[in-house]
Amino acid sequence: MGSFDALYAHLPVWAQHGTVSAYGMYWRWLRFGRNFGGPYAKEYRERGAWPAEQMQAWQQEHLRNLLHAAATKVPYYQRAWSKQEQAAAMAGRLEDLPLLEKDPIRAQPKAFLRYDMKPWPRLVFHTSGSTGTPIASIWTVEEMRKSMAVREVRSAGWAGVSFRMPRATFSGRLVEPNPESNGPFYRFNLAERQVYFSPFHLRPDTASSYVDALRRHGVQWLTGYAVSYYLLAKFILDQGLNVPPLKAVIAVSEKMTPEMREVMERAYGCRVYEEYGSVENAFFASECEQGRLHVSPDIGILEILRPDGTPCEAGEAGEVVATCLMREYQIFIRYRVGDVAMWDPAPCPCGRTMPILKEVFGRIEDVVIGPDGRQMVRFHGIFVNQPHVREGQIIQEDLNRIRVKVVPTNGFGPADSQDIIRRVQQRLGPSVEVIVEPVDQIPRTAAGKFQAVVSLLRERGVAAAERTGLAQY
Ligand SMILES: [Zn+2]
C-alpha cells in the first residue's frame, strides 16, 4: 500500500468522499480539460463518418510518421531492430517488423519513450496483470484527453449517454479500504458526479446498498468491470430490488458472454454495450447501436494474426496485435495484447465503415489444455444455466486435473457437481479428472478483477499455449 493509500485508509468516510472529490477535480482537469470537448471530440466524430478509403489514408500517413519516429527517436527500437527492420520501418512496412512482447516494456518502460519529447506532467499507469510485474504505461495529458474524447464520442455517445451525466464505475480503485466495512461501499466524486463502487464488497447482503447509491446520486449510466455488474444484476433479480431508471451500461475489462448481457439488461432495464481495449490503449473498439463492435482505426492499428504471423481471414480466430497511433510518446509497435479475436466481413447497418470484430474470445492466458493437447477458451459455458452456482473459477492444476471452484447457492447438490464434471469432460476429454470444490468466495486479483481461469501449468512454465494452434476454435 502506498503512503497515500495508507493515509486515505485512516480517514473517516466523509473525508474519504472529500478526498475522492478533490482528486476527482484533478482528474477532471486531466481527462476533460482543454481540447477534450472541443477539437478532440469533434475530430473523432468527423473521422468516424469518413469513407473507409479516407480513414485508411489517414491511418497510413500517421503510421509512417510513427514508424519513422520509432526508428530514429526511440531507444528500444534503435537497439532491438535489425538493419533490415530499421529499413522496413523507414519504408512504412509494418508487416516486416517484429512482434513486441510484454517483457521488454515491463523491464524498461522508459526505453519506449521518444527522447525528443519532454511532456509535463507525465502520467504513469500500471496495468493490473494477475501475475508478474505490472507494466508502466506513460502518457501525456493530451493523450489522456484524446482517449477520453474517443470514449465520449464512440462509446458513451453511441450508447446515448455522456461523461457529463452522472455515472457509476466499478474499477480496481481501493475506495473502501476496510474489508470488514458495513458500508457505504462506494465513494462519491463530486467533480464528475461519479459513484466509485468497490468490487471487493459486493455480496448478496450488500447488493441493496449499491442500488441505493445509484438512486441517491441520480446515476444515469454504469461503466466498468463487466463481471461486477453481472453479479450485481443477479443479486438484483434474485432479491427483486428496485433499480432507478438507467440509460445504458457500458461494460469493459472482462469478456462479456451473451448470458451475462441478458441478465444485466433484465436487471438494469436498459441496453448493455461493450467496450474493448487495453489499459495501454494500444487500440480501441466500441459497440454501436446495431450491437456491432467497431475498431477505431485512428486510435490504433489492430492486426489479427495466425501462429505463423500471416494475417487471418475474416471469420478466422487469431492473436490480437496492436500498434498504437493515438499515443505518440511511449511507442508500442506490433504489441502482443494477449487476446484472441476474429474479424467480421459483413458491413454494419449503422453505416459506419470502421472495421468490425465478430468476436473477442478472451485472453490467451485463459486457455486450458486437455491431456491430448486440445486447447479451449471460453469456459463460461460451463456455468451457463447452472441455477445453483453464483460464480465459478476453473483452475488447471495439471494436464489431467481441473479444479472447479464454485460459490454455491441454496440447493447446490451432487447433481450440480456431476453436471459440471460432465461439461468439463465434454470439452477436454473423458480422461480429465475434475474436482468440484464449493467455496464461500472466489478472491479477486489485487485490482479487483475476477479471474475466470487460473493455469498453474503456465505458472510452472510447463506448457506454452501462447504460440500454437490458436485458430482451432
Ligand atoms: Zn455499426
Question: What are the tens digits of pLDDT across the range 345-386?
Answer: 999 999 999 999 998 876 666 667 777 766 666 666 677 777
Residue list, CB under 5 A from ion ligand 1 = 288, 290, 292, 348, 350, 352
List the grid coordinates of 24: 476527482
Residue 473, pLDDT > 90, answer no
Task: Give the distance (Å) from ligand 1 centre to CA of residue 263.
Answer: 23
Q: What pLDDT sits at residue 458?
A: 59
Task: Give the distance (Å) from ligand 1 centre to CA of residue 91.
Answer: 33
Task: Give the distance (Å) from ligand 1 centre to CA of residue 290.
Answer: 5
Using the CB atoms, write b or e for 289-311: b if 16+ within 10 Å.
eeebbbbbbbbbbbbbbeeeeee
At 228 the three-state DSSP class reads helix
Task: Give the distance (Å) from ligand 1 centre to CA of residue 157.
Answer: 13
**Residues 156-168: tens digit of each pLDDT:** 999 999 999 999 9
- What is the residue-averaged pLDDT of the chain? 87
Q: What pLDDT sits at residue 364?
A: 62
Instruction: pLDDT band for 151, please (50, 70, 90 cuts).
Output: very high
Distance between CA atoms of residues 362 and 344, nearest Å: 16
Distance between CA atoms of residues 271 and 248, nearest Å: 5
DSSP assignment of 126-140? E---SSSPPPEEEEE
Instruction: pLDDT band for 130, please (50, 70, 90 cuts).
Output: very low
Distance between CA atoms of residues 408 and 390, nearest Å: 6
Task: Give the distance (Å) from ligand 1 centre to CA of residue 330.
Answer: 31
Determine the distance from the C-alpha atom of residue 451 to the mean position of all C-alpha atoms in its chain, rounded to a whole number.
Answer: 12
Q: Report the candidate in 366, 339, 379, 383 with the shortest Cα–Cα distance to residue 457.
A: 366
Task: Give the distance (Å) from ligand 1 centre to CA of residue 289.
Answer: 6
Task: Give the distance (Å) from ligand 1 centre to CA of residue 47.
Answer: 14
**Residue 85 is inside which H or E element, if any?**
helix 83-90
Q: By the 8 A CB rule, do 186 and 198 touch? A: yes
At 313 the three-state DSSP class reads coil
Residue 128, pLDDT > 80, answer no
Tell whether the torsion through CA atoms of 358, 364, 366 and 368 is positive or negative.
Answer: positive
Distance between CA atoms of residues 222 and 272, nearest Å: 9
pLDDT top residue among 256 and 49: 49
Cis peptide preceding 184, ω within 30 of 0: yes
Distance between CA atoms of residues 394 and 452, nearest Å: 6
Neighbours of 248 (CB within 10 A): 21
Instruction: pLDDT band for 222, please (50, 70, 90 cuts).
Output: very high
Q: What pLDDT sits at residue 464?
A: 31
**Residues 283-317: tens digit of each pLDDT:** 999 999 999 999 999 999 999 998 889 999 998 88
Residue 235, pLDDT > 80, answer yes
Q: Which residues pair with 124 in a beta bridge?
A: 138
Residue carrying the nine cell digits 516494456 = 105
Residue 256, pLDDT > 90, answer no
Give alpha helix (H) positions in 221-299.
Answer: 226-239, 258-268
**Residues 31-87: tens digit of each pLDDT:** 888 877 679 999 999 999 999 999 999 999 999 999 999 999 999 999 999 999 999
Collect all residues with Cβ–Cβ distance below 8 Å to 240 and sequence separation of at least 6: none
**Strand (E) positions, 171-299?**
186-189, 194-197, 221-225, 248-252, 271-277, 284-287, 293-295
Task: Give the distance (Å) from ligand 1 centre to CA of residue 399.
Answer: 41
Distance between CA atoms of residues 131 and 445, nearest Å: 9
The stretch 232-258 carries a mean pLDDT of: 91
Distance between CA atoms of residues 204 and 201, nearest Å: 10
Phi, psi of 252 (to 5 degrees): -130, 175
Global confidence as pTM: 0.83
For residue 30, CA distances in Å to 25, 120, 147, 377 come to: 9, 12, 11, 38
* Opening angle at CA 227, ends 266 and 298, nearest 5: 100
Q: To 10 degrees, what angle do helices 41-48 and 141-151 make?
A: 50
Distance between CA atoms of residues 318 and 303, nearest Å: 9
Q: Report the candidate in 31, 7, 32, 29 with the shortest Cα–Cα distance to residue 174.
A: 7
**Strand (E) positions, 297-334?**
300-305, 318-324
Phi, psi of 118 (to 5 degrees): -130, 65
Task: Give the distance (Å) from ligand 1 centre to CA of residue 291.
Answer: 7
Q: Report the candidate in 357, 402, 360, 361 with the shortest Cα–Cα distance to residue 378.
A: 361
Task: Give the distance (Å) from ligand 1 centre to CA of residue 162.
Answer: 19
**Strand (E) positions, 65-176?**
122-126, 136-140, 167-170
Task: Give the distance (Å) from ligand 1 centre to CA of residue 271.
Answer: 15
Instruction: pLDDT band for 429, please (50, 70, 90 cuts).
Output: confident
